[in-house]
Structure 1
Amino acid sequence: MTDLLETRHDAGVVRLTLNRPKVRNALNTELLGALAGVLDRAAQDETVRCVVIHGADDHFAAGADIDELAERSASDGPGDPRLGYWQRIQRFPKPLIAAVEGYCLGGGCELALCADLLVVADDAQLGQPEIRLGLIPGAGGLQRLAITLGKTRTMHLVFTGERISGGQAYDWGLASQCCGHGEALATAIATAERLAEGPPLAQRLAKQAVLAATETPQQAAFELGRRSFELLLSTDDKAEGIAAFRDKRPPSFSGK
Protein backbone atom coordinates (compact mmCIF):
# COMPACT_ATOMS: atom_id res chain seq x y z
CA MET A 1 0.00 0.00 0.00
CA THR A 2 1.30 3.43 -0.92
CA ASP A 3 2.32 5.67 1.98
CA LEU A 4 0.01 8.31 0.50
CA LEU A 5 -2.99 6.37 1.82
CA GLU A 6 -2.95 4.72 5.23
CA THR A 7 -5.45 1.93 5.90
CA ARG A 8 -6.79 0.50 9.15
CA HIS A 9 -9.47 -2.21 9.44
CA ASP A 10 -11.17 -2.84 12.76
CA ALA A 11 -14.52 -4.46 13.59
CA GLY A 12 -16.01 -4.05 10.13
CA VAL A 13 -14.89 -0.43 9.72
CA VAL A 14 -12.08 0.55 7.36
CA ARG A 15 -10.42 3.89 8.11
CA LEU A 16 -8.59 5.53 5.21
CA THR A 17 -6.19 8.40 5.91
CA LEU A 18 -5.22 10.74 3.07
CA ASN A 19 -1.54 11.16 3.87
CA ARG A 20 0.10 14.07 2.05
CA PRO A 21 0.32 16.48 4.99
CA LYS A 22 3.02 18.70 3.45
CA VAL A 23 0.50 19.76 0.76
CA ARG A 24 -2.56 19.52 3.02
CA ASN A 25 -3.46 16.16 1.47
CA ALA A 26 -3.89 17.52 -2.06
CA LEU A 27 -5.28 14.82 -4.33
CA ASN A 28 -2.71 13.80 -6.91
CA THR A 29 -3.24 11.00 -9.42
CA GLU A 30 -1.37 8.42 -7.34
CA LEU A 31 -3.44 9.11 -4.24
CA LEU A 32 -6.73 8.97 -6.15
CA GLY A 33 -5.67 5.69 -7.76
CA ALA A 34 -4.76 4.21 -4.39
CA LEU A 35 -8.10 5.30 -2.95
CA ALA A 36 -10.04 3.79 -5.85
CA GLY A 37 -8.12 0.53 -5.49
CA VAL A 38 -8.75 0.22 -1.76
CA LEU A 39 -12.45 0.94 -2.21
CA ASP A 40 -12.68 -1.67 -4.99
CA ARG A 41 -11.25 -4.28 -2.64
CA ALA A 42 -13.39 -3.14 0.28
CA ALA A 43 -16.48 -3.52 -1.90
CA GLN A 44 -15.66 -7.21 -2.40
CA ASP A 45 -14.61 -7.91 1.20
CA GLU A 46 -17.56 -9.21 3.23
CA THR A 47 -15.82 -8.28 6.48
CA VAL A 48 -15.94 -4.59 5.51
CA ARG A 49 -19.25 -2.98 6.41
CA CYS A 50 -18.41 0.74 6.31
CA VAL A 51 -15.52 3.01 5.26
CA VAL A 52 -14.42 6.31 6.82
CA ILE A 53 -12.15 8.72 4.92
CA HIS A 54 -10.26 11.51 6.67
CA GLY A 55 -7.09 13.53 6.19
CA ALA A 56 -3.81 13.56 8.08
CA ASP A 57 -2.70 16.49 10.24
CA ASP A 58 -5.93 18.43 10.75
CA HIS A 59 -6.95 18.86 7.10
CA PHE A 60 -9.21 16.73 4.93
CA ALA A 61 -7.85 17.72 1.50
CA ALA A 62 -7.01 21.18 0.18
CA GLY A 63 -7.84 20.37 -3.44
CA ALA A 64 -6.22 18.89 -6.52
CA ASP A 65 -2.45 18.76 -6.87
CA ILE A 66 -1.61 22.17 -8.34
CA ASP A 67 1.52 20.95 -10.16
CA GLU A 68 -0.42 18.20 -11.92
CA LEU A 69 -3.26 20.57 -12.70
CA ALA A 70 -0.88 23.04 -14.32
CA GLU A 71 0.26 20.37 -16.79
CA ARG A 72 -3.18 19.10 -17.79
CA SER A 73 -4.97 20.17 -20.97
CA ALA A 74 -8.21 19.50 -22.81
CA SER A 75 -6.43 16.94 -24.98
CA ASP A 76 -6.06 14.63 -21.95
CA GLY A 77 -9.80 13.94 -22.18
CA PRO A 78 -10.98 10.34 -21.78
CA GLY A 79 -7.38 9.14 -21.50
CA ASP A 80 -6.97 10.85 -18.14
CA PRO A 81 -6.84 8.04 -15.52
CA ARG A 82 -8.32 10.35 -12.90
CA LEU A 83 -11.71 10.12 -14.61
CA GLY A 84 -11.79 6.37 -14.05
CA TYR A 85 -10.58 6.73 -10.47
CA TRP A 86 -13.36 9.19 -9.64
CA GLN A 87 -15.97 6.90 -11.22
CA ARG A 88 -14.77 3.94 -9.14
CA ILE A 89 -14.86 6.00 -5.94
CA GLN A 90 -18.38 7.18 -6.73
CA ARG A 91 -19.55 3.60 -7.39
CA PHE A 92 -18.49 2.26 -3.97
CA PRO A 93 -21.64 0.38 -2.88
CA LYS A 94 -21.29 0.34 0.93
CA PRO A 95 -21.77 3.18 3.44
CA LEU A 96 -19.02 5.77 3.00
CA ILE A 97 -18.39 8.50 5.58
CA ALA A 98 -16.14 11.56 5.23
CA ALA A 99 -14.72 13.02 8.46
CA VAL A 100 -13.78 16.63 7.74
CA GLU A 101 -11.44 18.86 9.70
CA GLY A 102 -9.61 21.92 8.39
CA TYR A 103 -9.51 22.52 4.64
CA CYS A 104 -11.94 20.61 2.43
CA LEU A 105 -11.59 22.49 -0.84
CA GLY A 106 -11.81 21.90 -4.57
CA GLY A 107 -11.26 18.23 -5.36
CA GLY A 108 -11.17 17.56 -1.62
CA CYS A 109 -14.68 18.93 -1.27
CA GLU A 110 -15.78 16.86 -4.27
CA LEU A 111 -14.37 13.76 -2.59
CA ALA A 112 -16.24 14.56 0.63
CA LEU A 113 -19.44 15.05 -1.36
CA CYS A 114 -19.04 11.53 -2.77
CA ALA A 115 -19.57 10.22 0.76
CA ASP A 116 -23.00 9.13 1.94
CA LEU A 117 -22.54 10.85 5.29
CA LEU A 118 -20.48 13.96 5.92
CA VAL A 119 -19.24 14.61 9.47
CA VAL A 120 -17.72 18.08 9.86
CA ALA A 121 -15.94 20.00 12.57
CA ASP A 122 -17.74 23.28 13.12
CA ASP A 123 -14.64 25.27 12.13
CA ALA A 124 -13.79 23.22 9.02
CA GLN A 125 -13.59 25.15 5.74
CA LEU A 126 -15.46 23.78 2.71
CA GLY A 127 -15.60 25.25 -0.76
CA GLN A 128 -15.09 25.00 -4.51
CA PRO A 129 -12.52 27.72 -5.32
CA GLU A 130 -11.76 26.46 -8.85
CA ILE A 131 -13.23 29.64 -10.38
CA ARG A 132 -10.19 31.52 -9.05
CA LEU A 133 -8.01 29.31 -11.26
CA GLY A 134 -10.20 29.89 -14.31
CA LEU A 135 -11.79 26.45 -13.86
CA ILE A 136 -14.91 24.77 -12.50
CA PRO A 137 -15.29 21.63 -10.37
CA GLY A 138 -14.87 18.63 -12.67
CA ALA A 139 -15.60 15.60 -10.48
CA GLY A 140 -19.27 16.06 -9.68
CA GLY A 141 -19.04 18.82 -7.08
CA LEU A 142 -21.23 21.24 -9.03
CA GLN A 143 -24.02 18.74 -9.44
CA ARG A 144 -23.95 17.39 -5.89
CA LEU A 145 -23.99 20.89 -4.44
CA ALA A 146 -26.95 21.80 -6.65
CA ILE A 147 -28.84 18.65 -5.62
CA THR A 148 -28.35 19.43 -1.94
CA LEU A 149 -28.24 23.23 -1.74
CA GLY A 150 -30.32 24.30 -4.72
CA LYS A 151 -29.47 26.66 -7.56
CA THR A 152 -28.94 29.99 -5.77
CA ARG A 153 -26.55 28.89 -3.04
CA THR A 154 -24.62 26.69 -5.47
CA MET A 155 -24.26 29.54 -7.95
CA HIS A 156 -22.97 31.82 -5.20
CA LEU A 157 -20.39 29.32 -3.96
CA VAL A 158 -19.17 28.39 -7.44
CA PHE A 159 -19.14 31.93 -8.89
CA THR A 160 -17.31 33.44 -5.90
CA GLY A 161 -15.17 30.51 -4.76
CA GLU A 162 -16.05 31.45 -1.18
CA ARG A 163 -15.70 28.97 1.67
CA ILE A 164 -18.31 28.03 4.22
CA SER A 165 -17.66 26.72 7.71
CA GLY A 166 -18.54 23.23 8.84
CA GLY A 167 -21.25 24.72 11.01
CA GLN A 168 -22.78 26.51 8.04
CA ALA A 169 -22.52 23.34 5.92
CA TYR A 170 -24.51 21.52 8.60
CA ASP A 171 -27.10 24.31 8.84
CA TRP A 172 -27.55 24.20 5.06
CA GLY A 173 -28.06 20.42 5.04
CA LEU A 174 -24.75 19.62 3.34
CA ALA A 175 -23.37 17.74 6.37
CA SER A 176 -25.08 15.00 8.35
CA GLN A 177 -23.31 15.69 11.67
CA CYS A 178 -21.41 18.64 13.13
CA CYS A 179 -19.04 18.50 16.08
CA GLY A 180 -16.29 20.46 17.78
CA HIS A 181 -12.77 20.98 16.51
CA GLY A 182 -10.79 17.73 16.50
CA GLU A 183 -13.85 15.54 17.02
CA ALA A 184 -14.85 14.71 13.43
CA LEU A 185 -12.94 11.43 13.12
CA ALA A 186 -14.12 10.04 16.47
CA THR A 187 -17.70 11.04 15.65
CA ALA A 188 -17.48 9.42 12.22
CA ILE A 189 -15.96 6.23 13.63
CA ALA A 190 -18.75 5.98 16.21
CA THR A 191 -21.34 6.33 13.45
CA ALA A 192 -19.50 3.78 11.28
CA GLU A 193 -19.39 1.26 14.13
CA ARG A 194 -23.14 1.61 14.53
CA LEU A 195 -23.67 1.11 10.80
CA ALA A 196 -21.34 -1.91 10.82
CA GLU A 197 -23.84 -3.67 13.07
CA GLY A 198 -26.67 -3.10 10.60
CA PRO A 199 -27.95 -5.31 7.75
CA PRO A 200 -25.44 -4.93 4.87
CA LEU A 201 -27.78 -5.98 2.07
CA ALA A 202 -30.49 -3.54 3.16
CA GLN A 203 -27.90 -0.77 3.50
CA ARG A 204 -26.57 -1.42 0.00
CA LEU A 205 -30.04 -1.39 -1.54
CA ALA A 206 -30.98 1.72 0.44
CA LYS A 207 -27.90 3.49 -0.93
CA GLN A 208 -28.79 2.44 -4.48
CA ALA A 209 -32.34 3.72 -4.06
CA VAL A 210 -31.31 7.10 -2.64
CA LEU A 211 -28.69 7.65 -5.34
CA ALA A 212 -31.17 6.63 -8.03
CA ALA A 213 -33.59 9.24 -6.70
CA THR A 214 -31.01 12.03 -6.52
CA GLU A 215 -28.21 11.41 -9.01
CA THR A 216 -29.52 9.22 -11.84
CA PRO A 217 -31.60 12.05 -13.38
CA GLN A 218 -28.46 14.22 -13.25
CA GLN A 219 -26.11 11.96 -15.24
CA ALA A 220 -26.21 14.24 -18.29
CA ALA A 221 -25.35 17.17 -16.02
CA PHE A 222 -22.40 15.25 -14.56
CA GLU A 223 -21.08 14.59 -18.07
CA LEU A 224 -21.56 18.22 -19.12
CA GLY A 225 -19.67 19.39 -16.04
CA ARG A 226 -16.81 17.03 -16.79
CA ARG A 227 -16.55 18.11 -20.44
CA SER A 228 -16.66 21.78 -19.45
CA PHE A 229 -13.85 21.24 -16.93
CA GLU A 230 -11.72 19.52 -19.59
CA LEU A 231 -12.31 22.37 -22.05
CA LEU A 232 -11.19 24.95 -19.49
CA LEU A 233 -7.91 23.10 -18.88
CA SER A 234 -6.48 24.55 -22.11
CA THR A 235 -7.53 28.18 -21.66
CA ASP A 236 -5.33 31.21 -21.04
CA ASP A 237 -7.44 31.95 -17.98
CA LYS A 238 -6.52 28.60 -16.42
CA ALA A 239 -2.82 29.30 -17.00
CA GLU A 240 -3.19 32.79 -15.52
CA GLY A 241 -5.17 31.51 -12.54
CA ILE A 242 -2.53 28.96 -11.61
CA ALA A 243 0.31 31.44 -12.17
CA ALA A 244 -1.43 33.96 -9.91
CA PHE A 245 -1.99 31.28 -7.26
CA ARG A 246 1.70 30.40 -7.29
CA ASP A 247 2.76 34.06 -7.26
CA LYS A 248 0.28 34.87 -4.47
CA ARG A 249 -1.29 37.72 -6.46
CA PRO A 250 -4.77 38.49 -7.80
CA PRO A 251 -5.38 36.91 -11.23
CA SER A 252 -6.10 39.01 -14.32
CA PHE A 253 -8.48 36.98 -16.48
CA SER A 254 -8.87 37.71 -20.21
CA GLY A 255 -11.78 35.44 -21.09
CA LYS A 256 -9.61 33.39 -23.45
Structure 2
Amino acid sequence: MSDTEHGRITALRQGRVLQITLDRPAKLNAVSRQMARQLEALVAEINTDDEVRCVVLTGAGERAFCAGTDIRQLDEFDDAWNFRNREDYCMSVRRISKPVIAAINGYALGGGLEMALSCDIRLAAATAQFGAPEIKLGWIGGGGMAQLLSRSAGTSNASLMLMSGDAIPAGKALAWGLVSEVMEPAELMGRSMALAETIASRAPIAAEMAKLNVEAAANMPAKQATQYELDLQAICFATSDAAEGRAAFKQKRAPIFRRK
Protein backbone atom coordinates (compact mmCIF):
# COMPACT_ATOMS: atom_id res chain seq x y z
CA MET A 1 0.00 0.00 0.00
CA SER A 2 1.02 3.61 -0.49
CA ASP A 3 2.17 6.12 2.12
CA THR A 4 -1.25 7.75 1.75
CA GLU A 5 -2.93 4.61 3.10
CA HIS A 6 -0.35 3.59 5.70
CA GLY A 7 0.89 7.07 6.57
CA ARG A 8 4.48 7.99 7.20
CA ILE A 9 6.86 9.67 9.63
CA THR A 10 8.56 12.77 8.27
CA ALA A 11 11.61 14.51 9.71
CA LEU A 12 12.68 18.08 8.98
CA ARG A 13 15.93 19.51 10.34
CA GLN A 14 15.98 23.21 11.20
CA GLY A 15 19.40 24.00 12.59
CA ARG A 16 19.88 21.89 15.71
CA VAL A 17 16.16 21.12 16.03
CA LEU A 18 14.50 18.13 14.36
CA GLN A 19 10.76 18.31 13.73
CA ILE A 20 9.09 14.91 13.54
CA THR A 21 5.60 14.81 12.04
CA LEU A 22 3.09 11.98 12.20
CA ASP A 23 1.83 12.32 8.64
CA ARG A 24 -1.53 10.63 8.17
CA PRO A 25 -4.05 13.45 8.56
CA ALA A 26 -6.92 11.67 6.79
CA LYS A 27 -6.85 9.10 9.64
CA LEU A 28 -6.22 11.64 12.43
CA ASN A 29 -2.56 10.55 12.33
CA ALA A 30 -3.40 7.12 13.71
CA VAL A 31 -0.15 5.14 13.85
CA SER A 32 0.11 2.18 11.50
CA ARG A 33 2.60 -0.62 12.05
CA GLN A 34 4.63 0.77 9.17
CA MET A 35 4.77 4.19 10.87
CA ALA A 36 5.80 2.57 14.15
CA ARG A 37 8.73 0.87 12.39
CA GLN A 38 9.74 4.13 10.69
CA LEU A 39 9.72 5.95 14.03
CA GLU A 40 11.82 3.25 15.67
CA ALA A 41 14.44 3.55 12.91
CA LEU A 42 14.40 7.35 13.09
CA VAL A 43 14.99 7.33 16.85
CA ALA A 44 18.12 5.23 16.36
CA GLU A 45 19.43 7.89 13.95
CA ILE A 46 18.56 10.76 16.29
CA ASN A 47 20.38 9.24 19.23
CA THR A 48 23.64 8.95 17.27
CA ASP A 49 23.44 12.39 15.61
CA ASP A 50 25.27 14.95 17.73
CA GLU A 51 23.91 17.77 15.57
CA VAL A 52 20.35 17.11 16.78
CA ARG A 53 19.95 18.73 20.17
CA CYS A 54 16.17 18.96 20.55
CA VAL A 55 13.15 17.29 18.93
CA VAL A 56 9.63 18.63 18.30
CA LEU A 57 6.94 15.99 17.74
CA THR A 58 3.64 16.99 16.13
CA GLY A 59 0.85 15.76 13.87
CA ALA A 60 0.01 16.72 10.30
CA GLY A 61 -3.09 18.76 9.59
CA GLU A 62 -5.25 20.82 11.92
CA ARG A 63 -7.43 18.16 13.52
CA ALA A 64 -5.16 15.76 15.34
CA PHE A 65 -1.84 15.23 17.02
CA CYS A 66 -2.43 11.47 17.02
CA ALA A 67 -5.53 9.31 17.49
CA GLY A 68 -3.46 6.35 18.69
CA THR A 69 -3.00 2.97 17.05
CA ASP A 70 -4.71 2.17 13.76
CA ILE A 71 -7.48 -0.06 15.14
CA ARG A 72 -8.11 -1.64 11.76
CA GLN A 73 -4.68 -3.27 11.89
CA LEU A 74 -5.22 -4.92 15.27
CA ASP A 75 -6.90 -7.93 13.69
CA GLU A 76 -3.57 -8.70 11.97
CA PHE A 77 -2.25 -10.08 15.29
CA ASP A 78 -3.02 -13.78 15.44
CA ASP A 79 -2.74 -14.06 19.22
CA ALA A 80 -2.50 -11.92 22.35
CA TRP A 81 1.23 -12.59 22.81
CA ASN A 82 2.12 -11.20 19.39
CA PHE A 83 -0.09 -8.22 20.15
CA ARG A 84 1.73 -7.70 23.44
CA ASN A 85 5.10 -7.73 21.62
CA ARG A 86 4.04 -5.39 18.80
CA GLU A 87 6.04 -2.35 17.66
CA ASP A 88 5.71 0.16 20.52
CA TYR A 89 5.85 3.70 19.16
CA CYS A 90 5.44 5.20 22.65
CA MET A 91 8.53 3.34 23.82
CA SER A 92 10.35 4.65 20.76
CA VAL A 93 9.59 8.22 21.85
CA ARG A 94 10.83 7.44 25.37
CA ARG A 95 14.07 6.08 23.89
CA ILE A 96 14.97 9.47 22.38
CA SER A 97 17.96 10.67 24.39
CA LYS A 98 17.53 14.33 23.43
CA PRO A 99 14.86 16.63 24.92
CA VAL A 100 11.49 16.17 23.18
CA ILE A 101 8.67 18.72 22.95
CA ALA A 102 5.17 17.60 21.98
CA ALA A 103 3.34 20.23 19.92
CA ILE A 104 -0.21 18.95 20.40
CA ASN A 105 -2.24 20.46 17.60
CA GLY A 106 -5.50 18.52 18.01
CA TYR A 107 -6.80 15.20 19.28
CA ALA A 108 -4.37 13.25 21.47
CA LEU A 109 -6.24 10.01 22.04
CA GLY A 110 -5.24 6.57 23.28
CA GLY A 111 -1.72 5.85 22.09
CA GLY A 112 -1.55 9.45 20.92
CA LEU A 113 -2.01 10.61 24.50
CA GLU A 114 0.60 8.07 25.63
CA MET A 115 2.96 9.39 22.97
CA ALA A 116 2.45 12.98 24.13
CA LEU A 117 2.97 11.94 27.76
CA SER A 118 6.21 10.22 26.70
CA CYS A 119 7.62 13.61 25.64
CA ASP A 120 9.50 15.80 28.11
CA ILE A 121 7.50 19.00 27.55
CA ARG A 122 3.96 19.32 26.23
CA LEU A 123 2.53 22.43 24.56
CA ALA A 124 -1.03 22.42 23.25
CA ALA A 125 -3.32 24.32 20.95
CA ALA A 126 -6.50 25.59 22.59
CA THR A 127 -8.42 23.24 20.27
CA ALA A 128 -6.61 20.12 21.47
CA GLN A 129 -8.45 17.34 23.30
CA PHE A 130 -6.99 14.56 25.42
CA GLY A 131 -8.51 11.16 26.03
CA ALA A 132 -8.01 7.49 26.83
CA PRO A 133 -10.96 5.96 24.96
CA GLU A 134 -9.73 2.34 24.92
CA ILE A 135 -12.24 1.27 27.59
CA LYS A 136 -15.07 2.12 25.18
CA LEU A 137 -13.74 -0.61 22.88
CA GLY A 138 -13.10 -3.22 25.57
CA TRP A 139 -9.47 -2.80 26.55
CA ILE A 140 -7.06 -0.41 28.26
CA GLY A 141 -3.94 1.43 27.15
CA GLY A 142 -0.65 -0.43 27.14
CA GLY A 143 1.99 2.16 26.28
CA GLY A 144 2.52 3.42 29.81
CA MET A 145 -0.85 5.17 30.02
CA ALA A 146 -1.72 4.67 33.70
CA GLN A 147 1.77 5.40 35.02
CA LEU A 148 2.35 8.46 32.84
CA LEU A 149 -1.14 9.87 33.32
CA SER A 150 -1.08 9.38 37.09
CA ARG A 151 2.31 11.09 37.31
CA SER A 152 1.08 14.11 35.36
CA ALA A 153 -2.53 14.51 36.49
CA GLY A 154 -2.79 12.58 39.76
CA THR A 155 -4.49 9.26 40.41
CA SER A 156 -8.05 10.59 40.67
CA ASN A 157 -7.90 12.48 37.38
CA ALA A 158 -6.12 9.56 35.72
CA SER A 159 -8.83 7.19 36.96
CA LEU A 160 -11.54 9.51 35.68
CA MET A 161 -10.02 9.51 32.20
CA LEU A 162 -9.16 5.82 32.11
CA MET A 163 -12.48 4.57 33.49
CA SER A 164 -14.81 6.91 31.59
CA GLY A 165 -12.91 7.04 28.32
CA ASP A 166 -14.14 10.60 27.82
CA ALA A 167 -11.86 13.32 26.48
CA ILE A 168 -10.99 16.55 28.25
CA PRO A 169 -10.31 19.96 26.63
CA ALA A 170 -6.97 21.73 26.58
CA GLY A 171 -7.88 24.12 29.39
CA LYS A 172 -8.60 21.27 31.77
CA ALA A 173 -5.44 19.47 30.64
CA LEU A 174 -3.49 22.60 31.59
CA ALA A 175 -5.18 22.82 35.01
CA TRP A 176 -4.43 19.15 35.67
CA GLY A 177 -0.77 19.43 34.67
CA LEU A 178 -0.95 17.36 31.48
CA VAL A 179 0.49 20.25 29.47
CA SER A 180 2.71 23.23 30.28
CA GLU A 181 1.13 25.85 28.02
CA VAL A 182 -2.01 26.34 25.91
CA MET A 183 -2.16 28.81 23.05
CA GLU A 184 -4.01 29.63 19.85
CA PRO A 185 -3.45 27.02 17.12
CA ALA A 186 -1.63 29.50 14.86
CA GLU A 187 0.93 30.13 17.60
CA LEU A 188 1.69 26.52 18.52
CA MET A 189 4.48 25.60 16.12
CA GLY A 190 6.20 28.96 16.43
CA ARG A 191 6.27 28.69 20.21
CA SER A 192 7.32 25.02 20.09
CA MET A 193 10.18 25.68 17.70
CA ALA A 194 11.33 28.76 19.65
CA LEU A 195 11.42 26.74 22.87
CA ALA A 196 13.26 23.92 21.08
CA GLU A 197 15.83 26.39 19.75
CA THR A 198 16.35 27.75 23.26
CA ILE A 199 16.95 24.25 24.62
CA ALA A 200 19.21 23.44 21.66
CA SER A 201 21.35 26.47 22.53
CA ARG A 202 22.11 25.09 25.99
CA ALA A 203 24.89 22.64 26.80
CA PRO A 204 23.65 19.45 25.08
CA ILE A 205 25.15 16.93 27.50
CA ALA A 206 23.67 18.88 30.40
CA ALA A 207 20.28 18.90 28.66
CA GLU A 208 20.41 15.13 28.23
CA MET A 209 21.47 14.74 31.86
CA ALA A 210 18.57 16.97 32.93
CA LYS A 211 16.22 14.64 31.06
CA LEU A 212 17.65 11.62 32.88
CA ASN A 213 17.47 13.51 36.16
CA VAL A 214 13.75 14.27 35.82
CA GLU A 215 13.04 10.65 34.92
CA ALA A 216 14.98 9.48 37.97
CA ALA A 217 13.12 11.92 40.21
CA ALA A 218 9.82 10.44 39.04
CA ASN A 219 10.81 6.79 39.33
CA MET A 220 13.44 6.38 42.05
CA PRO A 221 13.24 6.72 45.85
CA ALA A 222 14.26 10.22 46.97
CA LYS A 223 17.60 9.24 48.51
CA GLN A 224 18.73 7.29 45.45
CA ALA A 225 17.43 9.98 43.07
CA THR A 226 19.40 12.65 44.92
CA GLN A 227 22.57 10.57 44.76
CA TYR A 228 21.96 9.93 41.07
CA GLU A 229 21.59 13.68 40.56
CA LEU A 230 24.99 14.24 42.16
CA ASP A 231 26.49 11.64 39.83
CA LEU A 232 24.91 13.31 36.79
CA GLN A 233 26.18 16.69 37.97
CA ALA A 234 29.70 15.32 38.30
CA ILE A 235 29.53 13.92 34.76
CA CYS A 236 28.45 17.33 33.45
CA PHE A 237 31.10 19.16 35.47
CA ALA A 238 33.83 17.03 33.87
CA THR A 239 32.85 18.01 30.31
CA SER A 240 34.60 20.55 28.13
CA ASP A 241 31.25 22.30 27.74
CA ALA A 242 31.12 22.98 31.49
CA ALA A 243 34.61 24.49 31.33
CA GLU A 244 33.47 26.57 28.36
CA GLY A 245 30.42 27.73 30.31
CA ARG A 246 32.58 28.91 33.22
CA ALA A 247 35.03 30.62 30.89
CA ALA A 248 32.24 32.38 28.99
CA PHE A 249 30.73 33.57 32.27
CA LYS A 250 34.03 35.07 33.37
CA GLN A 251 34.62 36.67 29.96
CA LYS A 252 31.03 37.95 29.74
CA ARG A 253 30.33 36.31 26.38
CA ALA A 254 27.96 33.70 25.00
CA PRO A 255 29.27 30.13 25.43
CA ILE A 256 29.92 27.86 22.44
CA PHE A 257 28.90 24.34 23.40
CA ARG A 258 30.26 21.41 21.36
CA ARG A 259 28.78 18.39 23.18
CA LYS A 260 32.17 17.42 24.56
| TM-score relative to the length of structure 2 | 0.78
The equivalent of 2:72 in structure 1 is 67
Whether the 8 Å CA contact 2:93–2:119 is kept in 1: the answer is: no
1:23-46 deviation digits (Å, cap 9, x = unpaired): 111011111121121122111111
Cα distance per residue 1:138-166 (max 9 Å; x no partner): 00111100111111111110000011111
Secondary structure of the residue that 1:53 maps to in structure 2? strand
Change over 3 Å in CA distance of 1:19–1:216 after alignment to 2: farther
Aligned to 2:177, what secondary structure does the other structure show?
Answer: coil
What pairs up with 1:27-176 in 2 under 5 angstroms?
A: 27-58=31-62, 59-72=64-77, 73-76=79-82, 80-83=85-88, 85-176=89-180
Whole-angstrom CA distance in 1 between matches of 2:97 and 2:72: 32
State the one-letter code of the partner of 1:16.
I
Code of the residue aligned with 1:88 in structure 2: it is S
C-alpha change, 1:158 and 1:4, in structure 2 (3 Å) is: same
- What's the secondary structure of 2:56's corresponding residue? strand
Shift of 1:77: 5.1
Quick check: 1:97–1:192 contact (8 Å CA) kept in 2?
yes
- Say if 1:131 and 1:158, in contact at 8 Å, map to a contact too: yes
Whether the aligned pair in 2 keeps the contact of 1:131 and 1:160 (CA below 8 Å) is yes
Could you tell me how far apart the structure 2 residues matched to 1:77 and 1:61 are?
20
Q: CA deviation at 1:216?
A: 5.1
Change (3 A) 1:31 1:215: farther
Letter in 2 for 1:82: E
How many matched pairs? 214
Of residues 24, 33, 39, the one that matches 1:20 is: 24
Equivalent AA in structure 2 for residue 100 of structure 1: I
Q: CA RMSD in A?
A: 1.6
Identity %: 36
Q: Which has the larger radius of gyration?
A: 2
Gaps in structure 2 of 5+ consecutive residues: 222-260
CA contact (8 A) 2:90 2:111 kept: no
Question: Following the alignment from structure 2 to structure 1, what is the Cα–Cα distance between the partners of residues 47 and 81?
Answer: 32
In structure 2, relative to structure 1, the CA distance for the partners of 1:68 and 1:215 (3 Å cut) is farther
Shift of 1:5: 1.2
Q: What is the CA-CA distance between 1:86 and the residue it aligns to? A: 3.8
What amino acid maps onto 2:53 in structure 1?
Answer: R
Distance 2:220 2:136 in 1: 30
Q: 1:214 to 1:190 in 2, by over 3 A?
A: same
Structure 1 runs (4+) deviating above 4 angstroms are none
- State the 1:131 CA deviation: 0.4
Equivalent residue of 1:39, what SS? helix
With CA pairs under 8 Å and 6+ residues apart, which has the higher RCO, 1 or 2? 1
Contact kept in structure 2, 1:16 and 1:52, CA below 8 Å: yes
Match of 1:6, SS?
A: strand
Encode CA deviations 1:193-240: one digit per residue, 9 max, x unaligned: 1111011111111110110121357xxxxxxxxxxxxxxxxxxxxxxx
